[in-house]
Amino acid sequence: MSETANKIRKFVIGRFPLAQRGGLDDAQNLLQSGIVDSLGILELVNYLAEEFDIVVSDDELLPENFSSIRSLAGFVERKGQPTGATD
Amino acid sequence: MEYLTHHLLETSASTDPSKEALVHGERRLSYEELDTLTTRLANALIDAGLQRMDRVGIYLEKCVEQVIAMLAVSKAGGVFVPINHLLFPDQVDHILRDCRPQALVTSGARLESIKGILRNNADLGAVFTTTASDVSLEGKLVLDGETILARGAADPPRSRVISHDLAAILYTSGSTGRPKGVMLSHANLIAGSRIVSTYLKINSEDRIVSIVPFSFDYGLNQLLTGLEHGATVVLLNFRFPNDVVQCLIDERITGLAGVPSFWSLLAQPSSSLHRHEFPRLRYITNTGGAMPQPVLAKLRESLPDTDVILMYGLTEAFRSTYLPPEELDRRPTSMGRAIPDTEIYVLNEHGKPCAPGEPGELVHRGPTVSLGYWGNTEATNRVLRPNPMSPPELRDTEKVCYSGDLVTMDEDGFLYFQGRRDSAIKSAGYRISATEIESVLVAIDGVREAAAIGVPDEVLGQSIVGIVVPHDGETLEIDEILTSCAEKMPRYMMPKHVEIVADLPKTAHGKIDYQSLRSRVNSGGNPSDES
């Protein structure tokens, strides 16, 4: 959990620096505060694909999966059984 | 006869009062309700001291009150100034100082965030809030809009302006300086609505979803076409692509408009767009930059029965060209040809028409050419000039709009975008001046000099690279620079990358040499592909 969360935190801080205001807490809501907008969601989706090899379907693009670093990390853990290289 | 912006609403309200006009989430307003609320707010604005031609800033996220406010200002004979809800206090301050509004319409929460800049604004007489607020501003009326909309006077105010008068100011950026206010008359707005609704065939059966902000000419135009024809306009703030897909289904949407980055979002492989059918969706339109070809192909595959209409416009001329959907297969990369009642010239640097295929500047002639920039005659005269194609006797009777966009025209009159003549950055549908970003960068501690450039980006059109030079002996941290930017500017203006360099290339006149900077970054002199 913490390894995944750390990676995501680093990415979020780099791309959405406002998240850092007042110290970034893993439970902070990234959506309500306007830190991550619709294009930001797309950046997050692309990041999850590259970093964790996870394909996010539209049905999974939900506030409960994307609202905080903690929920993102939980989502990645649930989705991401290490598949490794397939060929 | 409809010659003022709010007349479009009034006519539809008298034709079919109970017809659904506006939807936002759970809220649904009929044309009659919308018209009544608009009248009440117009009366309240006049009671609060609004004179003819006074400006009214409207700083709200997409909501019913935003539409009511724009139309109420028109009814009261004032000038509405939609302020993009994404802007930060610094940018809002610039707009308020520039156009000196007499009144402002905003929400309680937004008022809290900008009260500091309002206290010193001498011109502002009244603030109307859509939600409760306990902010008090000395010497200014702070009025609760909810009460006004529930109980205000319902007799329409006497008309105080004519169609030539200023109706709206839309702020937009050029290649340098801070955003400028493009002045649009009632005649401009009504011509834009008539022309666009003609080629989109808007009718009272239409249900149009509004995503693009009203501070953007395209978003405003979309609303007006709907009101003109008694259609239903559905306002949507969305975060996830599925919010849009769900809205298309639930609200039985017939028309959808977006900018290229929006389509990239909606057409991505995992999108639920590909798993539904949209038999009611009659058309989609794109503007604000070229739609990437793979995105276009995907949309056409998922929406086989929907017309895709590519459009182009610049705020200074409101709307300019469109590609009829039947031409899309033949010319998928074209931005189309002139909209009805409009002429487009492609002129070379000597002001002469270009041969087919020869790049030149797009020049727009027609009833949507704006009145120029608010309070900036010099900039206006650069963009709006006498028509070089008219006989000399007529040359000074009208102004045409020099777009700054380089295009080519094919043998059949269809246009193809080639690039900007200046260094304006175009990202996520926004025109952004390098100056706006640079002024934030140089204000950061330890930064001596800064430049901002646009580099190609698959989703955004261009993404922004900030280049900073530290003061002697200072070290700069990229993360800290990004954080400082994020506190001062909306996300669409944020540099995607920041590079720290020892010096900036200069021209012989000592100005930043953007061309050499761009080629330096593009050639990979610094890492600029991925962070």
How crowded is residue B94: how many other Cβ atoms within 10 Å of its Cβ?
Answer: 16
Residue B239 to chain A, least CA–CA distance (Å): 5
Domains in chain A and their CATH numbers?
Answer: 3-78 (1.10.1200.10)
Contact criterion met (CB < 8 Å) for B270 and A41: no
ipTM score assigned to the predicted complex? 0.72
d(CA B13, CA B30): 8
Closest Cα in chain B to A10: B479
Contact criterion met (CB < 8 Å) for B242 and A42: no
Asked whether the whole model's pTM tops 0.80, one would answer yes
Q: Given this model, what pLDDT does residue B528 score?
A: 35
Q: Given this model, what pLDDT does residue B58 score?
A: 98
pLDDT tens series, chain B, 531 aa: 899 999 999 999 999 999 999 999 999 999 999 999 999 999 999 999 999 999 999 999 999 999 999 999 999 999 999 999 989 898 999 999 999 999 999 999 899 989 999 988 889 999 999 988 888 888 888 888 888 888 888 899 999 999 999 999 999 987 778 899 999 999 999 999 999 999 999 999 999 999 999 999 999 999 999 999 999 999 999 888 889 999 999 999 999 999 998 998 899 887 889 999 999 999 999 998 888 899 999 999 999 999 999 999 999 998 999 999 999 999 999 999 999 999 999 999 999 999 999 999 999 999 999 999 999 999 999 999 999 999 999 988 999 999 999 999 999 999 999 988 877 888 888 889 888 899 899 999 999 999 999 998 888 888 999 999 999 888 899 888 988 888 888 888 999 899 999 999 988 888 888 888 888 876 655 433 333
Instruction: Name B464's Cβ contacts closer than 8 Å, sequence gap at least 6.
Output: B425, B427, B432, B437, B452, B453, B454, B455, B493, B494, B495, B496
Half-sphere exposure of B168 (CA within 13 A, CB side): 33
pLDDT digits (tens, 9 = 90+) for A29-48: 888 766 788 888 888 888 88
Q: In which element (H, E) is residue B10 found?
A: helix B5-15
Smallest Cβ–Cβ distance between B483 and the set A20, A38, A56 belongs to A20
Q: Given this model, what pLDDT does residue B531 score?
A: 33
Put simply, whether B462 touches A (Cβ < 8 Å) is no
Q: B401 to each of B54, B312, B317, B342, B383, how far by Cα in Å?
A: 26, 14, 6, 11, 6
- Listed residue (B104, B132, B99) closest to B118, CA to CA: B104
Q: What pairs with residue B409 in β-bridges?
A: B415
How crowded is residue B218: how many other Cβ atoms within 10 Å of its Cβ?
Answer: 24
Smallest Cβ–Cβ distance between B239 and the set A14, A17, A41 belongs to A41
d(CA B163, CA B151): 30
In whole angstroms, what separates CA B252 from the centre of its chain? 26
Q: Are B405 and B470 in contact (CB under 8 A)?
A: no
Tokens matching residue B431: 């025109």
In whole angstroms, what separates CA B41 from the centre of its chain? 24
Chains A and B: how many Cβ contacts under 8 Å? 67
Contact criterion met (CB < 8 Å) for A62 and B459: no
Using H for helix, E for strand and C for coil, what is the string for B391-451?
Answer: CHHHHHHCEEEEEEEEEEECCCCCEEEEEECCCCEEECCEEECHHHHHHHHHCCCCEEEEE
Q: In which element (H, E) is residue B245 found?
A: helix B241-250
Put simply, whether B509 touches A (Cβ < 8 Å) is no
